[in-house]
Amino acid sequence: MNKKKGVPIITRSFASPQVSPGDTWRVYLSASDPDGDMKAVYCVIDQPGMGTHPASITRIREDQQRELSGYLYLTTAGMAGSNFGNLVLKIQIRDQAGNFSEPVSFSLSFNPRAHQEEAPPGLFQDRELGPIMITLTSGSPG
């Protein structure tokens, strides 16, 4: 069992660098796995001053375990008017054998006047992969 099986590869990714507080942030991914056994997307958010949130794990549907394309989404509802500052989202894909893809990272800043940038046309399916189940907290510790 010394042979290394195929590892998932995130081939393309995109996310708007700014959103307005309260918007739903879309993070687009394309990924592939030669073994066709991608199992889950792992998302971790590091929020300066608040630390790293526990990982959100989104299962990959069976029909997308070889080739994946679509978007994850993070809800920032209920946070309008809060001062978040910036955060960093790190995403990796894990396969059945426990192999992880190389991570991709996105920085996000909140701006009440921001309009979320759309993904470049034709690069990703407009398919919902699932939510990023992380609840953001405002920048002032309780």
Does residue 140 sit within a domain?
no
Within-domain flag for 14: yes
Average pLDDT over residues 41-50: 90
Q: Between residues 114 and 42, which one has the greater pLDDT?
A: 42
* CATH code for the domain in which residue 37 is found: 2.60.40.1930
Coil vs helix vs strand at 70: strand
The confidence score (pLDDT) of residue 135 equals 85
Q: Which domain holds residue 43?
A: 9-131
Residue 33 makes CB contacts below 8 A (sequence gap 6+) with: 6, 7, 8, 9, 65, 66, 93, 95
How many domains does the structure of the chain reveal? 1
The answer to whether position 22 is within a domain reads yes
pLDDT for 17-37, tens place per residue? 999 988 999 999 999 999 999
- Measured in Å, how far apart are the chain's first and last C-alpha atoms? 50
pLDDT class of 141 with cuts at 50, 70, 90: very low
Q: What is the pLDDT of residues 73-101, one digit of tens each?
A: 999 876 655 555 789 999 999 999 999 99
pLDDT, residue 83, reads: 58
Contact 100, 8 (CB under 8 A): yes
Residue 2 falls within a domain, yes or no? no
Q: How far, in Å, CA of 10 to CA of 102, rounded?
A: 7
114 vs 78, residue with greater confidence: 114
Q: Is residue 111 part of a domain?
A: yes
pLDDT band at 69 (very low <50, low <70, confident <90, very high): very high
Asked whether 121 and 31 are in contact (CB, 8 A), the reply is no
Q: Which two tokens stand for residue 38?
A: 């991608």
